[in-house]
Amino acid sequence: MLTDKTIKALKPKTSAYYEINNTTQRGYGRLAVKVNPSGEKYFYLLYRHNNKRKALPLGRYGDMTLKEAGVLYGKYKGHVYDGIDPREVIEEETRRKDESKKEAERKHREEMRKGSIGQIIELYLERLEKNASVSHFRESKRALLKDVLPLLGADTKAKDITPDNIVRVLHPIADRGKEVQCNRVRAYLSALFNYGIQFDRTTEAISKDIYFNIQFNPVTVIPKQLKRESPRDRVLSEVEIHAFWQAIENSQLAPDRKITFKLLFATGGQRVREVIQSEWAEFSLYEGLWTLPSNRVKNKRVHVVPLGELALSLIRELQEYNGHSRYLFPNQSNPEQPMKDDALAQCLTRMNKPGVGPFQSRDIRRTCKTLMGKIGITKEVRDRLHNHALDDVSSRHYDRYDYLLEKRSAISKWNEYLSRIIADNWQSNNLIQFSSKTGTLR
């Protein structure tokens, strides 16, 4: 009888040989150990099939124990007795396992093709990051990942989402009294499902082998909350601008924070995020130009802003404080990053602003555009200066003139106007007027 002791005692010879386990059973084959000249030992099932001697390898001794080899021998000896070749049994088992594995893989691929909520959000955000403004992308991402994904479930199929599921997402937001935010999340969800409906008909669906099979947008039947988001209409008056400029000078704000507010006015009301995230590489002080790359602006088109003397003097002053950084306005706690989006809001909260009504930093843009109109700058030039998206066919497809001369003229006139307002000797009872006949300020 084979035992571990007898197997270990087997010595190699010049040629391989078998040590057979003795048994009184006939017709079942024999468990044997083959000893190679190298000293390696292997378990085999020795048997006869169709009057031919055959040997079925079971495993290497050391990797397999004698007990494990005995189990395999017990599994196959009945087939030998029944006249069935164990090799054919093993081949059939292997074939079935392969088929089962292929079927499982096929089902997995089929399941993956039925796009989930996690997949549609991931793909939608990828598209949004490339095509939408930075602020819209960030707000959509925050809402979809924080308010939507946990409640709908990443693995839930997009086609299975019903209006009831949408209501369950929106209810906690509305229940907190956040009606405006509720409307926004609803809008993000509606855009998400519209994207999913269109996705199945794109080449991307073929390349990624993902299909959402969404039959209708489940958001469309969900009504908006009654409370509407009122558009802001806050515009600072000349008196308030003068008072605010004085408040900046008298405040305890850091020097670069003071310059931030001033530069928002001096550049004619460029977008707050575009100003606070600006980089020194974007500026040519010699040419008096600030060139914003397409990946930093809302409409994804390069935006050139001419700089007047007021803006240039502020930027040169800023070099003394932040000239060592990549950004004009670096984050105070992490200089490798730009100023945080809420930094100016915190500054306005802390500042003492006598004579100035409540306002937000983004109201400066509206103020500049409104007062530019007062001093005779045309709406078209103001729109160009603020880089508004122009939707007429001519602007979108044919007009590539950059209006730099007109924008320089507008900035020059705006700087003259702003310099008068912020002057120390400016009198609030002597408001600046524009003469349409002469085209001058008086």
pLDDT digits (tens), the chain, 442 positions: 788 999 999 999 999 999 998 876 788 899 999 999 999 999 999 999 998 999 999 999 999 999 999 999 999 999 999 999 999 998 998 899 998 888 877 776 666 557 899 999 999 999 998 888 777 899 999 999 999 999 999 889 999 999 999 999 999 998 888 888 999 999 999 999 999 999 998 998 888 888 898 999 999 999 886 555 556 789 999 999 999 999 999 999 999 999 999 999 999 999 999 999 999 999 999 999 999 998 888 878 899 999 999 999 999 999 998 989 999 999 988 888 999 888 899 999 889 988 899 999 999 999 999 999 999 999 999 999 999 866 554 444 444 457 899 999 999 999 999 999 999 887 766 666 655 556 666 6
How many domains does the structure of the chain reveal?
Answer: 3
For the record, the structure tokens of 242 come out as: 């003068």
Instruction: Return d(Cα 138, Cα 331) in angstroms, integer.
Output: 19
Does 262 map to a domain? yes
**How many Cβ atoms sit within 10 Å of the Cβ of residue 286?**
6
- Same domain for 341 and 420, yes or no, is yes
Domain containing residue 313 = 238-441
Closest CA relative to residue 228, chosen from 191, 163, 182, 188: 182
* The domain boundary residue, chosen from 208, 225, 247: 208
Instruction: Say if CB 30 and CB 20 are below 8 A apart.
Output: yes
Phi-psi domain of 268 (left: phi exceeds 0; alpha: psi -120 through 50; beta: other): left
The answer to whether residue 45 is domain-embedded is: yes
Using alpha carbons only, what angle is made at residue 117 by residues 116 and 119, rounded to the nearest 5 degrees?
Answer: 65
Q: How far apart are CA 113 and CA 209, in angstroms?
A: 6
- C-alpha distances in Å from residue 323, one per residue of 314, 330, 396: 13, 10, 37
* DSSP 8-class letter at 340: P
Backbone angles phi, psi at 251, to 5 degrees: -80, 170
CATH number for the domain spanning 278: value is 1.10.443.10
- 317 and 188 in a single domain? The answer is no
The count of other CB atoms within 10 Å of the CB of residue 97 is 10
- The answer on 102 and 76 residing in a single domain is yes
Looking at residue 394, its pLDDT comes to 46
Rounded distance, CA 20 to CA 18, Å? Answer: 6
- How far apart CA 118 and CA 116 sit, in angstroms, is 5
pLDDT of residue 389: 64
Whether residue 196 sits in one domain with residue 262:
no
In a domain, 369, yes or no: yes
CATH code for position 28: 3.30.160.390
The answer to whether residues 103 and 122 belong to one domain is: no
Sign of the torsion formed by the C-alpha atoms of 354, 357, 360 and 363: negative
β-strand partners of 440: 435
